[in-house]
Chains A and B, each alone.
Chain A
Amino acid sequence: MPNTLIEYELARNNIVLIDFSDMVNMIIRGDAAADFLNIVCTGDVGGLSDGHILNTALCHDNGAIVAIVWILKDENCFHLHSDSAKKSELLGWIDYCLDRHKEMRVSVENVASIMACFSLIGPKAIEVPITLIDEDIIGLQYLAFNHYFFGNIECQICRYGYTGEYEYRIIFPNEFKDEVKREILDSGKEFNIQECGKEVLDVLYLEMKSINQNRDIRDDTTPLEAGLHWMLNLRKNGFIGKDALEIIKKENTYNKLVMVISESAEGIKEFGKVMIMGKKEIGTIIHREYSPMLEKYIALASLDHHYGYSGLDVFVEGLSGDLFPAKTASAPLFATQTGAIARER
């Protein structure tokens, strides 16, 4: 059972405010900015138009994920955002890549210390920006961003996220943090908005099988194992890790991350075994949570390639070490309220 059941209910039914000010936030400029990003990212940055966002990965030469990032194409620059979970690896890797490609005219400015970020998450998350900015915000599509004025504070509002709910990230100069928080919480009162910590994200992400950089990525996890094939553009000219990923894809024996739902009231043991037919070990539990929506224990498992499919009856280790029945499952595990609202719109 999550510590933050109330926060979960609000995130899935109303709005929560989460402080993401410790996120990675960089500005990339220069004639070669797009080319540089196309080398370090697995996705096609060159295809991005102004005001749009690409969710992509940076990989090591061996194909293992360094970090998952959001690339925002602005009028005269790119922004790179990522979770704080992989901050030191990502900053170190960007420095290494800049050094590796010294000949490219590109500058990278780390603005994380001077910018704050609040995220509004939930099916009613749009109501606060409508009040604070104006109704123009309704036109902001998913995977898009724009610059707005909130009073005299210039902010960047981005629509991206992993929870399956509406998510509006508001990025603005750090010095206005207290003022902006006050205004957001006042505007959201009628929707019972609450500020909460990031812990609730673990179960919100897992229910959607959104990769949690803090919990789900090991040192050797590739985008292929993580099921993030859509982040790879293997047709573009060389990016770091491309050769290795092509070999891994061709061999087609990599483990697969698959959702598991336990039929037992006992919790699932993290890093416990996953068995099939009660006796053949086929994988390991990577990350487990309790889903209040499903009222069941759910987990992300790394399974042998051959068994990496949903719809199979398996057994997982409970907290006692005993084996309990479970099923591999398709993701996202359910349709969110936001999904229903978006379809109506």
Chain B
Amino acid sequence: MESLEIEKKIARRKDILERLYKLLIEKFALTTELDEISEDTPLFGLGLGLDSIDALTLVFRVEQEFGVAITDENTDALRSVNTLVDFIIKKENENA
């Protein structure tokens, strides 16, 4: 993996993470700031502590923000912030 390619991957991931953090803080009234969430933070239970109702809202907001649909077959993507980012990147690549 060449240096430029690595930097592009990092930049793309950081961009999606920041947009996702903003969405989580604004839409779920989290009392954290952007730099207080780490990428492998679980979305449910330990971590951000979202619940099953929040899951439905999250799916809707992610589709609005990123144009990516999370179906029943893909709910594994909601393990953590990072796994959700992986899913968004994968779907964006498929749609490109």
A227 touches B40 (CB 8 A): yes
B80 touches A229 (CB 8 A): no
Hey, which chain A residues are within 8 Å of B10, CB to CB?
306-307, 309, 312
State which of B36, B40, B47, B76 has its C-beta within 8 Å of the C-beta of A335: B76
A55 CA to B32 CA in the complex, in Å? 17
Given contacts A227-B41, A232-B36, contact A309 B13 (CB under 8 A): yes
On chain B, the number of residues with a Cβ less than 8 Å from chain A's Cβ atoms is 32
Hey, which chain A residues are within 8 Å of B42, CB to CB?
332
B75 within 8 A of A: yes
Whole-angstrom distance between the Cβ of B12 and the nearest chain A Cβ: 9
B53 within 8 A of A: no
Q: Which of B1-19 contact A (CB under 8 A)?
A: 1-3, 6, 9-10, 13-14
Hey, which chain B residues are within 8 Å of A259, CB to CB?
40
A151 within 8 A of B: no
Taken residue by residue from 301 to 345, chain A's Cβ proximity to chain B (1 for < 8 Å, 0 otherwise) reads as 000001101111100000000000000001110110001000100
Most buried by B among A276, A307, A339: A339
A332 touches B45 (CB 8 A): no
A330 touches B80 (CB 8 A): yes
Hey, which chain A residues are within 8 Å of B46, CB to CB?
55, 143, 230
A330 touches B40 (CB 8 A): yes
Hey, which chain B residues are within 8 Å of A310, CB to CB?
13, 39, 82, 86
B85 touches A330 (CB 8 A): yes
Hey, which chain A residues are within 8 Å of B37, CB to CB?
229-230
Given contacts A142-B45, A227-B41, A228-B38, contact A312 B6 (CB under 8 A): yes
B71 within 8 A of A: no
A252 touches B89 (CB 8 A): no
Whole-angstrom distance between the Cβ of A35 and the nearest chain B Cβ: 20
A306 CA to B6 CA in the complex, in Å? 11
Closest to A225 in B: B38
Given contacts A227-B41, A277-B6, A330-B85, contact A343 B1 (CB under 8 A): no
A234 touches B36 (CB 8 A): yes
B82 touches A312 (CB 8 A): no
Hey, which chain A residues are within 8 Å of B6, CB to CB?
276-277, 307, 312-313
B31 within 8 A of A: yes
B35 within 8 A of A: yes
A235 within 8 A of B: yes
A229 touches B13 (CB 8 A): no
A332 CA to B41 CA in the complex, in Å? 9
Closest to B81 in A: A330
State which of A224, A313, A331, A339 has its C-beta within 8 Å of the C-beta of B40: A331
Closest to A334 in B: B76
The 4 closest A-B pairs by CB, nearest first: A330-B82, A227-B38, A335-B76, A331-B40
- Which B residues lie at the A interface, using CB under 8 A? 1-3, 6, 9-10, 13-14, 31-32, 35-42, 45-48, 52, 75-76, 79-80, 82-83, 85-86, 89
Between A and B, 26 residue pairs with Cβ closer than 8 Å are: A227-B39, A227-B41, A229-B37, A230-B38, A230-B46, A235-B31, A249-B36, A259-B40, A276-B6, A277-B1, A277-B3, A277-B6, A307-B6, A309-B9, A309-B14, A310-B13, A310-B82, A310-B86, A311-B13, A311-B89, A330-B83, A330-B86, A331-B82, A332-B40, A332-B80, A339-B76
